[in-house]
């Protein structure tokens, strides 16, 4: 097998198996943001991508897809349960999102996590050429950087963490807290969404290892008396802004936006929430605030509709089953109390939609509600902003989402403060057009200038610098 200069390692491959007959050999590109972000890099560099093909026990040989070499890592049903649903999504996810839900610490899950991380590391080590670069993605694979460094000291290794990194007081709960940090410190560059995440990480390293850290540069001693520098720094991720701008220009998408408004009975204001159905997204807080506004008579069901898209997610993890029940009970109660024959208070959709439909929804919405209790970045906020080339619409944005660091002209909220959230929703509904336009312009400038291409370019250039520094030191 020829080896690639550049290899991405992520939990999932960038393709879905659509079954025989559909697409090129049954595979089709999955719509994720990471895929779009890395597409240009993969094409330029003749890269390879290591990841799970998305189905239990699916064992397929490496294959080429759209100019990229894809290297599937097979997972058994038992491994998916313990490594993915268990340790990744029921231990790390809640812990790193400030224990909004209680993390479960199970030793058999940890054992599976180590085993599966090793398999990903081995697959990457086989795939990458001498002196090449590997970019590891996200919290499912925190041990891979160190494993790879041990197998292949010649490599330059990057890691990007898509979710928050918690304060030490919470992180220290993790029974395997030293091993996870050691895993991450195997990388030359460790990227985070926010400056605060990189700070929390560096503080945890100081507390647990007492390594020297200076301006994000951490000196990590190796077993053989040598040391390497790991750079822990914020690289806020973004979106392919151009794609959203182009879609928003299409007459059929604009027509669809009008159709959506009409379908809702042409209310004066449409409020919109778009989230994976996840307890980190603050969907309940949003529903509570809206329900109370109706109850108080501050909004009327004929005038204002809340559209909530909650796309199905992690449906085999207990906390998500419970959350869905709670949300659906709340929606039904609010609608039961307030609906009329002609108007619904909340239009709730537990479905996924094509991107065109999402853009039409963004265009139809007067107010976008992003009320996450904790969120690495929140791409939906940026997508809404990119879509609104008409400079209309208001973004209500939680200060606990990474996007809040960049989108200073959004209406910021603390979603736990229901009274202020209610006032902010009213402020958004009533905002004069001139003010909408001023705020939207400044947010759009930011998102367009710092799009996802700029994100990957800046991460890769930090990796290049790390490589050069390493070469200089060995010389």
The CB-of-301 to ligand GDG minimum distance in angstroms stands at 25
Residues 36-95 that bind ligand GDG (CB under 6 A): none
Structure tokens at 472: 């200089």
Judged by CB, which is closer to ligand GDG: 109, or 160?
160
> 336: which residues sit within 8 A by CB, 6+ positions away?
none
Residue 221's beta-bridge partner residues? 227
Among 253, 272, 358, 407, binds ligand GDG (CB under 6 A): 358
The CB-of-33 to ligand GDG minimum distance in angstroms stands at 5
Q: Which helix (H) or strand (E) holds 463?
A: helix 452-474
DSSP 3: P
Task: Determine the Cα–Cα distance for residues 181 and 143; give it in Å rounded to an integer.
Answer: 8
Residue pair 401/265 in contact by the 8 Å Cβ criterion: no
Judged by CB, which is closer to ligand GDG: 375, or 451?
375
* DSSP-derived pairing of the beta strands 269-276 and 27-29: unpaired
Residue 120: how many CB atoms within 10 A of its CB? 25
> 24: which residues sit within 8 A by CB, 6+ positions away?
65
Stretch of residues binding ligand GDG (CB under 6 A), selected from 16-24, 203-211, 373-381, 429-437: 373-381
Judged by CB, which is closer to ligand GDG: 294, or 373?
373
Radius of gyration of the chain (CA): 23
Q: Is residue 286 within the footprint of ligand GDG (CB under 6 A)? A: no
Task: Determine the Cα–Cα distance for residues 108 and 296; give it in Å rounded to an integer.
Answer: 50
Q: Is residue 350 within the footprint of ligand GDG (CB under 6 A)? A: no
Among 85, 182, 383, 406, binds ligand GDG (CB under 6 A): 383
Judged by CB, which is closer to ligand GDG: 304, or 368?
368
Residue 305's beta-bridge partner residues? 270
Among 91, 133, 140, 378, binds ligand GDG (CB under 6 A): 378
Judged by CB, which is closer to ligand GDG: 155, or 274?
274
Among 162, 256, 285, 422, binds ligand GDG (CB under 6 A): 162
Select from 399, 400, 392, 386 the least CA-distant residue to 444: 386
Q: Is residue 184 within the footprint of ligand GDG (CB under 6 A)? A: no
Structure tokens at 345: 């208070």
Among 106, 177, 276, 470, binds ligand GDG (CB under 6 A): 276
Annotate each residue in 289-328 with x if it binds ligand GDG (CB under 6 A) or - if it does not, as one string: --------------------x-x-----------------
Residue pair 36/44 in contact by the 8 Å Cβ criterion: no
Residue pair 327/95 in contact by the 8 Å Cβ criterion: no
Among 123, 124, 163, 327, binds ligand GDG (CB under 6 A): 163
Task: Determine the Cα–Cα distance for residues 118 and 216; give it in Å rounded to an integer.
Answer: 27
Chain position carrying tokens 């807290």: 177
Stretch of residues binding ligand GDG (CB under 6 A), selected from 98-106, 113-121, 177-185, 354-362: 354-362
Stretch of residues binding ligand GDG (CB under 6 A), selected from 47-55, 171-179, 254-262, 369-377: 369-377
Task: Determine the Cα–Cα distance for residues 30 and 43; give it in Å rounded to an integer.
Answer: 17
The CB-of-451 to ligand GDG minimum distance in angstroms stands at 13
How many chain residues touch ligand GDG (CB under 6 A)?
A: 21
Q: Is residue 330 within the footprint of ligand GDG (CB under 6 A)? A: no
Q: By the criterion CB under 6 A, which residues form the site for ligand GDG?
A: 31, 33, 162-163, 237, 274, 276, 309, 311, 352-355, 358, 375-380, 383
């Amino acid at each position: 097998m020829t080896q690639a200069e550049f290899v991405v390692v992520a939990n999932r491959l960038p393709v879905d198996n659509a079954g025989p007959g559909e697409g090129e050999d049954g595979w089709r590109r999955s719509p994720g943001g990471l895929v779009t972000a890395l597409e240009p890099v993969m094409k330029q560099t003749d890269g390879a991508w290591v990841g799970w093909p998305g189905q239990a026990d699916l064992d397929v040989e490496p294959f080429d897809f759209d100019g990229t070499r894809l290297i599937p890592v097979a997972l058994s049903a038992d491994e998916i349960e313990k490594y993915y649903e268990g340790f990744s999504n029921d231990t790390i996810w809640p812990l790193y999102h400030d224990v909004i839900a209680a993390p479960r610490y199970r030793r058999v899950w940890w054992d599976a996590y180590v085993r599966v991380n090793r398999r990903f590391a081995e697959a990457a080590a086989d795939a990458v050429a001498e002196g090449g670069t590997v970019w590891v993605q996200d919290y499912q694979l925190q041990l891979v950087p160190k494993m790879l460094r041990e197998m292949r000291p010649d490599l330059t290794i990057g890691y990007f963490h898509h979710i928050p990194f918690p304060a030490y007081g919470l992180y220290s709960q993790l029974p395997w807290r030293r091993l996870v940090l050691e895993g991450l410190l195997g990388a030359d560059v460790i990227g985070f969404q926010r400056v605060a995440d990189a700070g929390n990480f560096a503080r945890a390293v100081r507390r647990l290892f007492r390594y020297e850290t200076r301006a994000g540069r951490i000196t990590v001693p190796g077993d053989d008396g040598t040391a390497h520098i790991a750079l822990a720094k914020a690289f806020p991720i973004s979106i392919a802004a151009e794609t959203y701008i182009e879609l928003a220009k299409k007459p059929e998408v604009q027509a669809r936006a009008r159709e959506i408004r009409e379908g809702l009975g042409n209310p004066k204001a449409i409020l919109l929430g778009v989230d994976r159905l996840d307890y980190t997204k603050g969907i309940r807080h949003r529903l509570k605030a809206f329900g109370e506004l109706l109850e108080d008579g501050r909004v009327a069901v004929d005038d204002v509709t809340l559209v909530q898209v909650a796309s199905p997610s992690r449906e085999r993890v207990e906390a998500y089953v419970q959350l869905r029940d709670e949300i659906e009970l709340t929606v039904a109660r609010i609608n039961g109390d307030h609906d009329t024959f002609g108007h619904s208070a909340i239009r709730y959709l537990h479905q996924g939609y094509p991107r065109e439909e999402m853009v039409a929804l963004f265009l139809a919405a007067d107010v976008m509600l992003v009320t996450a209790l904790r969120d690495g970045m929140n791409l939906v906020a940026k997508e809404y902003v990119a879509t609104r080339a008409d400079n209309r619409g208001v973004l209500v944005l939680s200060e606990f989402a990474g996007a809040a660091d960049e989108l200073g002209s959004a209406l910021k909220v603390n979603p736990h403060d229901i009274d202020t959230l209610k006032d902010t929703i009213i402020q958004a509904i009533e905002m004069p057009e001139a003010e909408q336009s001023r705020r939207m312009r400044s947010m759009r400038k930011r998102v367009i200038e710092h799009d996802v291409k700029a994100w990957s370019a800046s991460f890769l250039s930090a990796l290049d610098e790390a490589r050069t520094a390493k070469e200089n030191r060995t010389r």
